[in-house]
Amino acid sequence: MPTLLHLDSSADLATSRSRAVTAAFAEEWLACGTDHAVVRRDLHRDPLPHLADAALHWPPRLRPPEAAPPADAEALQRQLIEELLGADVLLVGAPLYNYTVPSTLKAWLDHVHVPGLTAPFDQPAQPMAGRPAVVVSSRGASYDAGSPTEGWDHGVPVLDLVLGQALGMAVEVITTSLTLAETVPALADQRDRARQELDAAHGAAREAARRLGTTG
Ligand SMILES: Cc1cc2nc3c(=O)[nH]c(=O)nc-3n(C[C@H](O)[C@H](O)[C@H](O)COP(=O)(O)O)c2cc1C
């Protein structure tokens, strides 16, 4: 059964762009076939705890001898990793919060990135290698090449590093910028661009879902 793991992390339950775009992706994914499934994890409505113990960053064989992480935290981590391993495609709604990912999404990353288990370390473990990860990035402002804010977006790069470099997944990024243009008067002259980017993001999400849902 082709399974999509659908994560959202926006704290905006009314007008979130990333939620709207991931929802379009998930709808298109389900339309690819009656056997297509979606596992949903809303990291804002049901936030994960912070990582309970630094030892959980490592598999048991790489932990210090005195390490004794709480059993319930270890069980939760196992569940999250199994959920990820069960996904043929990962979909991540990733708003830009204070120039990085929301802390709810960071907590998920902290649980699933385990060197030596989900990423190479002392052995070449990379069980998610090659599987697609579609990141939907929504940003209030713009971070264009050559502009003063170029390089200020630290949200997409950390997802690229953890999911792409460490876990070896095939990361695709769909971006919608200037989302604050609708509400912030100083950005009002950017509304056309913002609307065009949002439309393009919806189109890209539906195209990616059809492509990834009908291959493999
Ligand atoms: C806590 C918080 C921090 C934010 N920080 C930034 C920021 O650093 N840069 C930016 O461009 N927009 C920032 N924004 C605006 C959001 O990126 C923007 O509203 C985006 O559309 C959020 O995604 P969403 O529409 O899926 O909720 C912030 C919004 C919130 C709520």
pLDDT digits (tens, 9 = 90+) for 40-84: 999 999 999 999 999 999 999 999 999 999 999 999 999 999 999
Average the pLDDT over 177-191 and give the result: 97
- Kindly give the distance from the C-alpha atom of residue 9 to the centroid of ligand 1, in angstroms, as a whole number: 11
Topology, domain 3-213: Rossmann fold (3.40.50)
How many Å apart are CA 17 and CA 139, to the nearest integer?
A: 9
C-beta 103 within 6 A of ligand 1? no
Residue 17: phi and psi, rounded to 5, are -75, -45
Q: Are strands 170-176 and 89-95 parallel, antiparallel or unpaired?
A: unpaired
The CA-based diameter of the chain, rounded to the nearest angstrom, is 60
Does the pLDDT value for residue 216 go beyond 90? Answer: no
pLDDT one-digit tens code per residue, 134-167: 999 999 999 999 999 999 999 999 999 999 999 9
Domain boundaries, the chain: 3-213
C-beta 164 within 6 A of ligand 1? no
C-beta 96 within 6 A of ligand 1? yes
